[in-house]
Amino acid sequence: MKHLKRNIIFSLLLIFTLSFLGCIKEDQKKPSNNSSNNSSNEKKNNNKEQAEQKYPIRIVDSLDRKVTIVDEPEKVISLAPNISEIIYALGKENLLVGRTALCDFPESILGIESIGDFYNPNIDKIVELTPDIIIMSSLASEKTLSKLDELKLPYMVINEDESIEGTYTCIEKIGYVLNSEKESEDLINEMKTKIGDISSKVSKSNKPRVHFIVDFGYSAGKDTYISQMINAAGAINAADNITGWNYSLEKLIESDPDIIIAPKKLIAQVLERNGYKDLRAVKNKKLYVIDDAVISRQGPRITDGIEILARIIHPDEFKEEMENESSK
C-alpha cells in the first residue's frame, strides 16, 4: 500500500513537472503581451533618451538667425507647401498642428488646421496652436516676421539655393530639426537614385529646347531648380539665356522652342494669346500641361516632376511603362 501511494505521488509530481516545463517552453515560443509592451516601452524610452541627448540644438536659418530648439518638437506649424511635403515625406506628419491654405498635398493634410496664406498668416491662430517651432520660407512678409519676433514665437526660415542640391539641403535641415536625420538621408538617396535612373534612360536621346511657362512674362532661368529639372529630363532649357524668372515675350518669340509646358490654368490663354499662338511648339501641337505644384515646389516631389517632364519630352523612352500602366 505504501509502495502504491509512493508511486502515485511520484507520478503526480512527474506530471506536474512536465506540465510546468511545457509551460516554460510555450512561454519561450510565444512572448507574452507584457513582454511585447515592455519592449515597445523600452524602445520609446530609448528614443526619448536619444532625443534628450541631442537637444538642445542650434541651427543657423536662411536669414542668418541663430535658432535654438530646446526640446524635440512635438507641435509644428508649416508656412510653406514644400515644407509640409517634406515633413510628410519624413513620416513626421503627426507633429503638424497648422498649415497654410496652399498646403494641399497629400490630401490628408487638409484635415490639419489652416492658418491662412503664407504671406500674411493668422497670427492669433498661430499663438492659439502653441507650436514648438514654426518652419517657413523666405516668402513670408516682413510684417509676419516682425510680429513673430515681437511675440517671441519660435520660428526658422528655410530657403536654400534654387537647385536640386538646395532641395536636399532643405530636407536635411528639416530632418535635423525634427530628429529625423536617418529618414532625411534615406529620402535624399531615394531621390538621387530616381533622378539618376531617369537621366540615364534619356541620355542618348536628342535634346529638344523646352520652355516652361511659370506665368505670362515669367519663365525658369538657367540658375533655377526648374532649369535643372528640365536638363535632368533630357532637354535644353529654352530660357537658359537669362537668370531668375523674368522672361519677356520678345525673348520667347526669338527662342521659338520645340516644346512648351505650362500649368493647366494658362493653356487656353496660350492658344489664343498674341505672340504665343504663333510659336512653333503651339502650331506643331507640342504644348503640354503639367501640374505646376509638382514642378514648382522645391520638395520631394521634384523627382515626380522630372519623370513627368521626361515622359512628355521623350515619350518613346517610356512607351513600355505607359502601356503597362494603361493596361492596369
Residues 220, 142 within the same domain: no
Give the pLDDT confidence of 6-48 residue by residue, as tens digits.
Answer: 333 333 333 333 333 333 333 333 344 554 455 445 544 444 5
Give the pLDDT confidence of 233-273 residue by residue, as tens digits.
Answer: 999 999 999 999 999 999 999 999 999 999 999 999 999 99
Which segments of 1-122 does DSSP mark as H helices, in order? 2-29, 33-54, 81-89
Residue 45 domain flag: no
Residues 143, 228 within the same domain: no
Residues 233, 320 within the same domain: yes
**Domain termination residue (choose one: 104, 133, 159):** 159
Residue 19 domain flag: no
Q: What is d(CA 114, CA 128) in angstroms, rounded to the nearest whole number?
A: 12
Residues 151, 218 within the same domain: no
Position 207 confidence tier, pLDDT thresholds 50, 70, 90:
very high
pLDDT of residue 324: 67
Residues 123, 213 within the same domain: no
Q: Which of 9-18, 96-105, 122-131, 152-161 has the lowest mean pLDDT?
A: 9-18
pLDDT of residue 24: 31
The sheet with strand 96-98 has its strands ordered as 96-98, 76-78, 133-136, 155-157
- What CATH number is attached to the domain comprising 250? 3.40.50.1980
What is the grid cell recorded at 117? 496664406
pLDDT of residue 328: 63
**Ramachandran angles phi, psi of 240, nearest 5°:** -80, 5
Residues 235, 317 within the same domain: yes
CB contact burial 249-279 (16+ within 10 A = b; e otherwise)? eeebeebebbbbbbbeebeeebeeeeebeeb
Whether residue 3 has pLDDT greater than 50: no
Residues 82, 141 within the same domain: yes
Position 138 confidence tier, pLDDT thresholds 50, 70, 90:
confident
Range of 58's domain?
53-159
Residues 64, 143 within the same domain: yes
Residue 126 domain flag: yes
Residue 170 domain flag: no
Position 323 confidence tier, pLDDT thresholds 50, 70, 90:
low
pLDDT of residue 14: 34
Residue 310 domain flag: yes
The tally of domains found in the chain comes to 2
Residues 210, 318 within the same domain: yes
pLDDT of residue 159: 85
Question: Which one has a higher pLDDT value, 45 or 305?
Answer: 305
Summary mean pLDDT of the chain: 86
Task: Give the three-class secondary structure for 108.
Answer: helix
Question: Which one has a higher pLDDT value, 56 or 320?
Answer: 56
Residue 22 domain flag: no
Residue 153 domain flag: yes
Residues 137, 211 within the same domain: no
Whether residue 221 has pLDDT greater than 60: yes
pLDDT of residue 315: 95
Residues 274, 211 within the same domain: yes
Give the pLDDT confidence of 50-78 residue by residue, as tens digits.
Answer: 555 789 999 999 999 999 999 999 999 99
**Domain termination residue (choose one: 94, 129, 159):** 159
Q: What is d(CA 52, CA 72) in angstroms, rounded to the nearest whole number?
A: 8
* Residues whose CB falls within 8 Å of the CB of residue 37, separated by 6 or more in sequence, listed in order: none
Task: Give the three-class secondary structure for 187.
Answer: helix
Residue 12 domain flag: no
**Domain termination residue (choose one: 100, 126, 159):** 159
